[in-house]
Amino acid sequence: MEENDMNISKSSNNVTAEDLGVDEIVYDAINVDVIGFGALNVDKLYKVGHIAEIDGESFIKGEEESPGGSAANTIIGLSKLGCSTSYIGKIADDEEGDLLEYNLMIHDVYLTNLIYADSGNSGKVLGFVSDEGDRALYVDPGVNDEISIDEINPLNVNACKILHYTSFVGDSFYAQKQLLKFLNENVILSFDPGMLYAKKGVEELKEILERTDILLINEGELKILFEDYYKEKLGIEEELSFRDLALNVRNDGIDTVVVKRGSEGAYAINKRDEEVKIPAFECDAVDTTAAGDSFNAGFLYSYINDYDLAKSCTIANWVASCSVQSIGISGLPTLDDLEQFIKSL
C-alpha cells in the first residue's frame, strides 16, 4: 500500500470485527491499483437428478453455497497477486450480504466503495445442475440493480489505476455509464461485457466501448456483440473471424483487445501493433466457472506491471489454469506462486 493509505476500524452495517473473529475491518484506502464495478451474488448451487420441466418435479441431492460475481472474482484474484483493490457493489442487511462482505474482507479487498442498502435483499443466483451436467440458473439481482451515481465517490475512483467493469442485470448499468462522465483520462477502463452485455449490442454499449482501454471478451461474446455490427458497417455478408473482429475493434479505438478462447488459449492485439496467439496450459479442469475472471486477474496484473502482450497473455492463461483445477476461485494462485512461475518462463 501507499504511505497515505488509511486503515480505519469501524463496524459494518451488517457485521462487526468481533463477529468475524478479526481485529479490525479495513475499509478506507487511497490510490488502490484496481477497483471492480459489477454485480455481487451468492451462488446457491443445487445438485438434482434432472432439470424439472413445466409441471414436473425433481429431487435435490446436495447443495453448495459460495459468494460470486465476475468482477468480484477478478478483484479477489488481483488481491491474491499482491495488488491493492476495492469494489463498487451493493449489498443488503441480510445473510447473503454478510457473506459477500466477508468474502471481500478476508481477501484484503478494501471496502471503501461498498454500498449498503437500507432495505431489500442481496443478489443471489439459484442454480440447478443435473447428473448429466445440464443446468438451469435463476438470478435474483436484488439491490445489485439499485446503484445510483450519487452513491459512488468519483474521487476514490479517480485515484485508482484501473477501473474494471462487468455486467449487471438491470439499472445499475446506467450508473456505470454515468460514472464515465466523472472519470479522468489517467484511469484505465477495463471491460468484460459477459453475455448479458454482449446481447445489448454495440449501440447500447457505445458510451462504455468508446471509453474502454482494455476489452477482455470471450470468442462467443465477441461474435454476438460485434459480427452483425461490422458486417453492416463494412458492407459484407461473409462470416468474420475472431481476428477480423478484434482488428476492427482495435482500429475503432480500443487500445488492447483480448479474446479468451477457452482450451484454444488467447488471442490479443493492441495499438502498439503487438499481436499474439498464446496456447492454453494443459491441466485437469474441475470447475471452469471462473476461468475467464481468473484470466482477467492475470492479465490486469501484467498490465499494471507493464509486461508485453505475449507475457501478459501467458500469465493470464496460467492463472486461469490454476483456477480451473479447483472449485470456484479456491485455486487462484498467490503472488509467491506467480513469481515462481515467472522465473520458470
**C-alpha span between 316 and 301 (Å, rounded):** 9
* C-alpha cell read off for 122: 442481496
Q: What are phi and psi of 329, to 5 degrees?
A: -110, 15
Burial 66-95 (b: 16+ CB within 10 A, else e): bbbbbbbbbbbbbbbbebbbbbbbbbbbbe
312-337: average pLDDT: 94
Q: What is the pTM of this model?
A: 0.88
What distances in angstroms separate CA 39 from CA 4, 14, 36, 144, 187, one per listed residue? 29, 18, 10, 6, 21
For residue range 247-273, what is the model confidence (pLDDT) as tens digits? 999 999 999 999 999 999 999 999 999
For residue range 63-89, what is the model confidence (pLDDT) as tens digits? 888 898 999 999 999 999 999 999 999
For residue range 174-226, what is the model confidence (pLDDT) as tens digits? 999 999 999 999 999 999 999 999 999 999 999 999 999 999 999 999 999 99
Percent helix, strand and coil across the chain, each rounded to 5?
40, 20, 40
* C-alpha cell read off for 253: 479505438
